[in-house]
Amino acid sequence: MKTREVISTGNDLAALAAVDAGCKFFGGYPITPSSEVMHTISDLLPQRGGYAIQMEDEIAGICATIGAAMSGVRALTATSGPGVSLKAENLGLAQMAEVPMVLVNVMRGGPSTGLPTRVSQGDIRQARNPSHGDYRSITLCAGNLAECYTEVVRAFNIADRFMQPVIVLTDETLGHMHGKAIIPTQEEVEKGVVPRKTFDGNPEEYRPYGVGEDEPAVLNPMFKGYRYHFTGLHHDAKGFPTEEIETCRKLIQRLEDKVMNYAEEIEYNEEFMLDDFNGEEGEVLIIAYGSVSLAAKEAIRHLRKDGVKAGLFRPITLWPSPAKRIRHFTDMVKNVLCVELNIRQYTEEVERVSGRLDLEGLYKVNGRPISPFEIVEKVKEVF
């Protein structure tokens, strides 16, 4: 794959990724620490024939984004945790109507206003179920500067493949970190674009939601001669509201199955220094994600020098969780340490899929990052 070397920040790379992936519309509202995504993309999009608009608030921002996506273009919004809270109802609309779009959440401290200028991973539970009802969220999590680019590109392809919103989590550390990143060229990104499916038959036979039991809707761009109905209500094959029992059941089950039956297609993880793990007594598995994984890798290098066989499992696709791989390693290894900038938000998922209640944890919620030294000390303290 052809690559390029850039010096940039995570927020700027997220904006560049969207434009390179074919995004033609951004709708949003400034909020620390994500504002630079909007600033940068508002410069880039007009140069590529796209549009960026600052709306009056976060709710209007996602409504405009959904409207643009309904017209057939790739569309992006960006925010932080409080903004996701405001966007939640319309994220549910996009799930029900099956409108593909990408939301970048640059996480900060919470709840409420919290620590606007500090780092946190407090939105993990929120990203799993950002709106009410039965559906499956797809959430990706960048762990370095390059992934602030590549995961946004991947999110657009997944959104069009599964016809629903896809969330990309970064955090304040990654968003404002300035450094070198090796990323694909624009040409490589364009070659990998996965366009959404369209229907090209008789308009009278068009049934956008009349698809297989685990398939996404086929939504043709609006204003192209194919008429159908958009609604947040339970709906039939043409999108019109219905309360018919079996139609409603099949619709909601399909929203579940179109993701979970293909979860392995979405799953993406990093396994760092785990190749030599074989279940020996002293092995230590560290589970971390996002910017915390950078500290975890440095800690593992130090632990290895001290004779402790440590390794990292990093979920990059957080939701649906990589349950089989988590279970594989937690079944193998006695000593497991979960490291998060929250209080056990992903640890609870690891407990659920592993069935273990003896996991150790290192958590911080004061807006400061976790250092490699803290991880090393925690490992030596508890194992």
Per-residue confidence band for 1, with pLDDT thresholds at 50, 70 and 90 = confident
Q: Where in the chain is the domain with CATH 3.40.50.970?
A: 3-191
Q: Are 84 and 137 in contact (CB under 8 A)?
A: no
pLDDT digits (tens, 9 = 90+) for 294-346: 999 999 999 999 999 999 999 999 999 999 999 999 999 999 999 999 999 99
Q: Looking at the DSSP assignment, which residues form a beta bridge with residue 184?
A: 3
How far apart are alpha carbons 330 and 61 in whole angstroms?
Answer: 41
CATH number of 270-382: 3.40.50.920
Per residue in 16-36, pLDDT (tens digit) is: 999 999 999 999 999 999 999
Range 3-191 classified under CATH 3.40.1280.10: no
In whole angstroms, give the CA distance from residue 257 to residue 138. Answer: 13
In the chain, residues under CATH classification 3.40.50.920 are 270-382
| Mean model confidence pLDDT for the chain | 97
pLDDT-derived band at 166, boundaries 50, 70, 90:
very high
Mean pLDDT of 264-292: 97
